[in-house]
Amino acid sequence: MSPRTPIAAAPPIPLGREVAYPRHYDPGLLFPIARTLGRAEIGIDAALPFIGHDRWHAYELSWLDARGKPVVATATITVPGDSPHLVESKSLKLYLNSLNHTRFDTADAVLARVVDDLSQSAGARVDVVFGLPAMADIAHDGASIDALDVEITRYGPPDASLLAADAGDVVDEQLTSALLKSNCPVTGQPDWASLHIAYRGPRIDRAALLRYLVSFRDHAEFHEQCVERVFVDLLARCRPDALSVEARYTRRGGLDINPWRATPGHAMPARLRDERQ
């Protein structure tokens, strides 16, 4: 196995440019981004108003066994939402591909190495397990708002003033939309997701919510930051007593990401995948 390169000492990779796939193990490919950068824009300081995590699904994981025979696997990677850094998706893809020609004695050794490298990059303990979650049953995901007959004219930037709720009608419900789209701030490529909202409090105006979500359509922001923006805007404008927001983004480069943010004490949603993932 090639000598390990300290992540902190590695030069930044040229994000947004064509990069040759690595042929040698290189944890220096991981590109951490300070979460404070995106949070400052939406008024989040050191005191986080949420709990949560970023769950990655890796579909293209491979390495060589002790005799040089290729092994293929899938993995679920969970980065805590209170970690100092998020890991940029292209750098994660390149890092995982750097394992392709690396020999490991056991599968457990692969897990240990990936856990260590990602934890160093994120600045907090990252959980990695082999395998992927089950597919979601759409009938139990909540009420979809996508069929609402509404006129929409705003596609960016995200407009929290569109949100509304009825304080006189308190409910406990789950809402979903498959119409969330934003753009990668690095490459400009579209990021597609279904959004899953569970809340208890004043009834959220569904048409208003749909217009708000579509206002992300031309917006450039990382997946994790988009979900935090939705959470903060819903909390401020609709004032729920309890709130959970999860986005299940479609796959790109052999990876999909599922950021989840919720009010403290809220139950973690079931680990599931959408059919588009």
Query: Would residue 105 show up in a list of annotated catalytic residues for this protein?
Result: no
Out of 26, 54, 191, 274, which one is annotated catalytic? 191
Q: Which residues fall within 8 angstroms of residue 177, CB to CB, at 6 or more apart?
A: 144, 145, 146, 194, 195, 209, 210, 213
Residue 162 to residue 158: CA distance in whole angstroms: 9
Dihedral angle over CA of 252, 226, 185, 154, nearest 10: 110
Query: Would residue 159 show up in a list of annotated catalytic residues for this protein?
Result: no
Strands 143-144 and 165-183: parallel
Locate 253 and state its tokens. 């480069």
DSSP state of 138: G
Here the contacts of 187-192 (C-beta below 8 Å, separation 24 or greater) are 187/15, 187/16, 187/90, 188/220, 189/252, 191/223, 191/226, 191/249, 191/250, 191/252, 192/249, 192/250, 192/276
Out of 26, 117, 141, 184, which one is annotated catalytic? 184
Burial class of residue 131 (count of CB atoms within 10 Å of its CB; 0-12, 13-18, 19+): exposed
Q: Where in the sequence numbering do the catalytic residues fall? A: 184, 191
